[in-house]
Structure 1
Amino acid sequence: MTQPSFSSPEAAPTIRLKPKANARAIRHGAPWVYDNELVIDRRTKSIAPGTIARLEDAERNFLALVAVNPNSRIFARVLDRDAAAQIDEAWFAAKFAAALAHRETLYEAPFYRLIHAEADGLPGVVIDRFGDTAVVQPNAAWADILIEPLVEALRTVTGVTTVVMNGTGRARGLEGLEETTEILSGAVEGLIPVPMNGATYMADLMGGQKTGLFYDQRPNHGFAQRLVKGKKVLDVFSHVGGFALASLAGGAESALSVDSSAAALELAEKGAAAMGKSDAFATRKGDAFDVLAALAEEGESFDVVICDPPAFAPSKPALEKGLRAYERVARMAAPLVREGGYLGLCSCSHAADLDKFRGACNRGIGRGVGHLGRSAQLIHTGFAGADHPLMPQLAESGYLKALFYRIVS
């Protein structure tokens, strides 16, 4: 993508809110401006995607420096509220230093989400760290264009030697960006062992999903470990071993991982081997719903069942269908839980808020075990870890929900 001309804030083009647009929201921290909130003319439509622009209210008062993309419904993303700010390597370095200080407060080892997009002041940018390697997801046009100063600042501040750009996923499509994955610095030599909650996960940075591993479930893995000692555990939609490996690290007698991806299950097996837990670990490849049905037919039961599916409701149009899918998961999983056992149900869907997700799970559990004379106690609600901060003005940054139930008579 060609770098738009931008040498200083004074040289930046100007875009303006409509008179009825909510300028107060921007002043109070809202990070996005939609196309229907702006005065759109031939000039603004011709601004190159990724250009840094000045955002003004209807009275021509400066509001923020923003990154513009006329091809996206999110026309502008707030970068800085200082009219004199330079969006350069030093600017990136300041953002990284602030983010790094928080993560180093939280974690002893350098394995975490370093940048969580808008919440860390870099809209559309996700960076996960794996020791001396970082994986960058530039999911907005401005970050694609400024990837070079971003990477230089990242290396300088954190000391990482290898940087991978993972330019894949739905978000880039919405920005009109091409999908590409490449090594921008250093080299990736095989899988990276990632320690988390006493377990070992194997991250495939070049061929795995998104950045190669999901850090967001770390606190929910930790809570699950309190339930599993000496227990038989089922982990559905397991990916690379998620809750299963955490359960083995927490003292589970056995764990079964279910996933549709043979590659993900192979990584889970390697993680179990690295932990010395292969004898207690098993996998089952297949569609999760089909496997849940088969386990029921086989008369299987477990002390702890945890289901962590992909986003069934990634957008508002998909919400109702997604909620039905979450209800179906709960309905099929609940009967597999032994009396007095535990059921964990998770959602990473932006569109399904906590109330809607909890309602779907409650209905599903009722349908699944009500006729057996059982009911459920909701014992814990979990969210993403503190390395995935929530931006109060942006509900979408708080996407992950985890509900833990106890199944009782």
Structure 2
Amino acid sequence: MHLCRIIAGLDKAMFLFSAKAMYPSTSLARVVLKKGKTQIFRDGSPMVYSGAVDRIIGRPPPKTGDVVLVADGSEKPIGWGLYNSVSMFCVRLMQLEEEAKRDPTSALNMGRLLEERISSAVDLRRSLGLPSTNTNAYRLINSEGDRLSGLIVDIFADVAVIASSAAWVEKYSQEIQFLVNKVSDVNHIKWRSSTDILKEEGLDISEQKEHAPSSHPGTVKVMENGIVYIVSMEGQKTGFYADQRESRNFVSTLSKDKRVLDLCCYSGGFALSAAKGGANNVIGIDSSGSALDLANENILLNKLNAERISFLKEDATAFMKGAISRNEVWDLVILDPPKLAPRKKVLQSASGMYRNLNALAMQVVKRGGLLMTCSCSGAMTQSGLFLKTIQGAASMAGRKVTVLRQAGAACDHPIDPAYPEGQYLSNYLLRVM
């Protein structure tokens, strides 16, 4: 018994020595987790939600953006992260203790950690062949997938668009812009703050100091799979949906001699790919006039025959109903609607909208033809209900479907399996009978 006490005392002393060596600042607050809540974060989940927190030790209490230690119930640190006093995510874990031991230079050092993570993201994209001679539009940093939760960086030729959706990103904006600006071929930076999400983080962007304005004009010319696009710096999301790059390329291989319909086409990504793939006739439908201005400009940039590809400003549902009344069908239909389920609480109503849209889309596909149907709603993808919704649409339309291909976002959009909430895009290729 006496020997056990000595060993236990030595273990405790070694822990205290290790913790002080790794995290020497005694002024740091500790966010102590509830019993039974530690393992999910040890396994790599980066988002410490407030319901997992038992208590916070530190006087004065930490402020939003402060570095804090995250500890188990015995107050032993398991890692460190960035605190938020308002968000449902109390801490965004940046580094676990084991990682800090392997690389103590980045422990509690956000500048060093940012440099390492951004460099790692660059190396990953280079290993994936990005950029290349025929593609210079890609995602450089994909939030949790690149272990920088709340930070998105898309590269469009020589422009980096930085999308911020976390308070810590705004706090370290200068450091982030400096490091991104060092990436090869980047000459301009456009900063885009997600105002609504940041309000949930306790930030009112209107009260924040403005970021340095971009020196680049409002549009940039990019290339993807050998197709040229005009990207608007004020367009949807970061301006271009690089996540569908691999699926757009796949569509080009399916399109030769086909009649193709691209619904919710935005600036014409799938439609242009179909035309480049040799489609006989392509029509793109979207309700946004500004998006279709870009799409029509893209026809000219790619020197495509305007008699074989065109765009029409119309609501997708209204267009499909009109086509059904005319008995008009296509060999290949792409349906890529905007996010219909931004949150889980609207998933049921969104499922109905997805079902109705897909039922109409199936009716404008020639029997034996193909439908590529998509959902960019994380709530839908993570629920696993999208395929069931598609099956319900088939029953509604009186059609039979088989799945030929299932895909998600392109490979430059990595997903951390410890944070499956980062998975948002579903893409199914169906044969419709």
Same fold (TM over 0.5): yes
Sequence identity percentage: 28
> Shift of the alpha carbon at 1:182?
6.8
Stretch of structure 1 that moved more, 324-333 or 274-283: 274-283
> Shift of the alpha carbon at 1:46?
5.2
- In the alignment, is residue 103 of structure 1 matched against residue 125 of structure 2? yes
> Shift of the alpha carbon at 1:20?
2.2
Give, in whole Å, the separation in 2 of the partners of 1:170 and 1:310.
17
Give, in whole Å, the separation in 1 of the partners of 2:24 and 2:349.
45
Give, in whole Å, the separation in 2 of the partners of 1:396 and 1:387.
17
Greater Rg over alpha carbons, structure: 2
CA contact (8 A) 1:16 1:58 kept: no
**Equivalent residue number for residue 275 of structure 2:** 248
Give, in whole Å, the separation in 2 of the partners of 1:295 and 1:179.
45
RMSD, aligned α-carbons: 2.2
Give the secondary-structure state (helix, strand or coil) at the position aligned to 1:351. helix
Match of 1:359 among 381, 385, 388: 388
> Shift of the alpha carbon at 1:117?
0.3
Give, in whole Å, the separation in 1 of the partners of 2:231 and 2:317.
26
- In the alignment, is residue 316 of structure 1 matched against residue 329 of structure 2? no
Structure 1 residues 187-266: aligned runs within 5 Å: 187-205=215-233, 207-266=234-293
**Equivalent residue number for residue 92 of structure 2:** 77
Do the aligned partners of residues 177 and 248 (structure 1) sit closer, same or farther apart at CA in structure 2, a change above 3 Å counting?
farther
TM value normalised by structure 2: 0.86
- In the alignment, is residue 288 of structure 1 matched against residue 313 of structure 2? no
Give the secondary-structure state (helix, strand or coil) at the position aligned to 2:238. coil
Do the aligned partners of residues 100 and 42 (structure 1) sit closer, same or farther apart at CA in structure 2, a change above 3 Å counting?
closer
Give, in whole Å, the separation in 2 of the partners of 1:218 and 1:183.
30
Give, in whole Å, the separation in 2 of the partners of 1:12 and 1:192.
47
- In the alignment, is residue 338 of structure 1 matched against residue 353 of structure 2? no
Do the aligned partners of residues 188 and 393 (structure 1) sit closer, same or farther apart at CA in structure 2, a change above 3 Å counting?
same
**Equivalent residue number for residue 3 of structure 1:** none
Give, in whole Å, the separation in 2 of the partners of 1:384 and 1:405.
18
CA contact (8 A) 2:69 2:79 kept: yes
**Equivalent residue number for residue 82 of structure 2:** 67
- In the alignment, is residue 326 of structure 1 matched against residue 373 of structure 2? no
Give, in whole Å, the separation in 2 of the partners of 1:361 and 1:288.
17
**Equivalent residue number for residue 13 of structure 1:** 28
Gaps of 5+ in 1: 1-7
> Shift of the alpha carbon at 1:186?
5.5
Structure 1 residues 15-94: aligned runs within 5 Å: 15-40=30-55, 47-81=62-96, 82=100, 84=104, 85-94=107-116
> Shift of the alpha carbon at 1:316?
1.1
Stretch of structure 1 that moved more, 330-339 or 220-229: 220-229
**Equivalent residue number for residue 334 of structure 2:** 306
**Equivalent residue number for residue 274 of structure 1:** 301
Give the secondary-structure state (helix, strand or coil) at the position aligned to 2:385. helix
TM value normalised by structure 1: 0.91
Stretch of structure 1 that moved more, 303-312 or 175-184: 175-184
**Equivalent residue number for residue 4 of structure 1:** none
Match of 2:171 among 108, 131, 145: 145
- In the alignment, is residue 132 of structure 1 matched against residue 143 of structure 2? no
Greater than 4 Å deviation, 4+ residue runs: 40-46, 179-183
**Equivalent residue number for residue 4 of structure 2:** none
Stretch of structure 1 that moved more, 396-405 or 16-25: 16-25
**Equivalent residue number for residue 8 of structure 2:** none
**Aligned residue pairs, count:** 396
CA contact (8 A) 1:198 1:246 kept: no
CA contact (8 A) 1:168 1:210 kept: no
Q: Which amino acid aligns with 1:243?
A: F
1:65-119 CA distance string (max 9 Å, x none):
1111121111111112227514343322211111111111222144210000011
CA contact (8 A) 2:332 2:370 kept: yes
Do the aligned partners of residues 299 and 222 (structure 1) sit closer, same or farther apart at CA in structure 2, a change above 3 Å counting?
same
1:147-174 CA distance string (max 9 Å, x none):
1111111122445121111013543333
Give, in whole Å, the separation in 1 of the partners of 2:429 and 2:408.
11
> Shift of the alpha carbon at 1:377?
1.7
Gaps of 5+ in 2: 1-22
